[in-house]
Amino acid sequence: MRMIDLRSDTATRPTPAMREAMARAEVGDDVLGEDPTVRDLEEETARIVGKEAALFVSSGTMGNQLAIATQTRPGDEVVGGEGAHPVLYESAAGAALSGVQFQVAGRGGFFNADDLEASVQPPQYWHPRTSLVALENTHNRAGGRVWPAQMAVAVAERAHALGLSVHLDGARIWNGSVASGIDVATMCLPFDTVSVCFSKGLGAPVGSAFCGSRAAVEQARRFRKRWGGGMRQVGILAAGALYALAHHRARLADDHANARALAEGLAKTQRARVEVQGVETNIVNIDVQASAQAVSAKARTMGVLLQATGPSRLRAVTHLDVSRTDIETAVELLGRAISSARGE
Ligand SMILES: Cc1ncc(COP(=O)(O)O)c(C=O)c1O
């Protein structure tokens, strides 16, 4: 049975054309700075993001952790929104690798400049020193919502006025840009450092980038090596990412339309609640009057994979390998899965 995989936009397989580009990639030893395809990818990413330099890294987690390592000292505090990736989903790497702790600002993933200021510690030596603020755009746990542009600018300005550095976890900044119509560089402008992922909506098999000033990237290069992330003929992977940047950005609008169609279909389903207006990009949160685990298990037997993210909440994510027909099938099957799972 072919599965319709809505668990994450990381589930994509490289397309034949992407595989072809990867197979043809010119390579060299990237630890020695001699991989031409990696250099091309880093230059192209820095250009799109609007920063001086970029560093190809293995994952979004490494990108975020490089931001923390380069902009904090052990014992510092990092402010992030509720449900932020480095706070919840990076195996406590901030504590383990950089010796920082986290403070959550606002509710629901977003926060304004006053929320930020309220979460910054007073200067007495017995408090942790707040040194970095991280925003996530689009916000995964908040259902792929895009940060209101003015609010992001105001938070970054206040952070700088308070002497803090500002990082953007832009794993899905490509989706945010397509949805808002604002170009990626403008969205990244208020931030000192930015991490972006090629392996989510863009459909590359592996890879992310850490972007910032040339000095920040050179400092990050040392951490990447220290953490075992110095890769050799990695141009094969960089070629997939370059292909994705060139060919898979504009089509994200299709994923967004598919997510909206899924949300609208499920909103009509009994015992399911979806905030259709909140579906701005490719992520749909579905609240069900049933056990989310039971719905997910039932859906799996019918050929639809999605994640239970709470006792009664499921998450579905659209991507390159999900067509409009798949969405229509998924709406029908999920409707049945929800009604049959309800008393369990
Ligand atoms: C918002 C966000 N940031 C960072 C990451 C980490 O990416 P990776 O899985 O490549 O470490 C993810 C992964 O899903 C994410 O959703």
Q: How many CB atoms lie within 10 A of CB 7?
A: 16
User: What is the overall mean pLDDT for the chain?
Assistant: 97
Each residue's pLDDT tens digit, 219-266: 999 999 999 999 999 999 999 999 999 999 999 999 999 999 999 999
pLDDT reading at 141 higher than 90: no
Q: How far does the centroid of ligand 1 lie from the alpha carbon of residue 85, in Å?
A: 7
Spatial CA neighbour of 39 closest among 18, 53, 19: 53
> Which residues form ligand 1's pocket by a CB distance below 6 Å?
59-61, 64, 85, 136, 140, 169, 171, 197, 199, 208
Read off the pLDDT of each residue in 271-297 and give the average, rounded to a whole number: 96
**Residue 148 to residue 124: CA distance in whole angstroms:** 33
Residue 83 φ/ψ region, left for φ over 0, alpha for ψ in the -120 to 50 degree band, beta for the rest? left
Query: C-alpha 108: how far from its chain's center?
Result: 16
**Residue 132 to residue 142: CA distance in whole angstroms:** 21
**Residue 120 to residue 316: CA distance in whole angstroms:** 34
Q: How far does the centroid of ligand 1 lie from the alpha carbon of residue 117, in Å?
A: 26
pLDDT reading at 312 higher than 80: yes
Q: Which atom of ligand 1 is nearest to the CA of 197?
A: 10
The preferred substitution site among 140, 167, 175 for testing ligand 1, maximizing ligand atoms within 8 Å of CB, is 140
Handedness of CA 29, 31, 34, 37 (dihedral sign): positive
- The strand order across the sheet containing 307-310 reads 272-273, 283-288, 313-317, 307-310
pTM (2 d.p.): 0.97
Q: How far does the centroid of ligand 1 lie from the alpha carbon of residue 249, in Å?
A: 18
Q: Which atom of ligand 1 is nearest to the CA of 62?
A: 11
Read off the pLDDT of each residue in 60-67 and give the average, rounded to a whole number: 98
Q: How far does the centroid of ligand 1 lie from the alpha carbon of residue 300, in Å?
A: 24
Each residue's pLDDT tens digit, 201-218: 999 999 999 999 999 999
Q: How many CB atoms lie within 10 A of CB 236?
A: 20
Give strand pairing partners of 159: none
List Cβ neighbours of 287 (8 Å cut-off, separation of 6 or more).
272, 273, 274, 312, 313
pLDDT band at 81; cut points 50, 70, 90: very high
Q: How far does the centroid of ligand 1 lie from the alpha carbon of residue 33, in Å?
A: 26
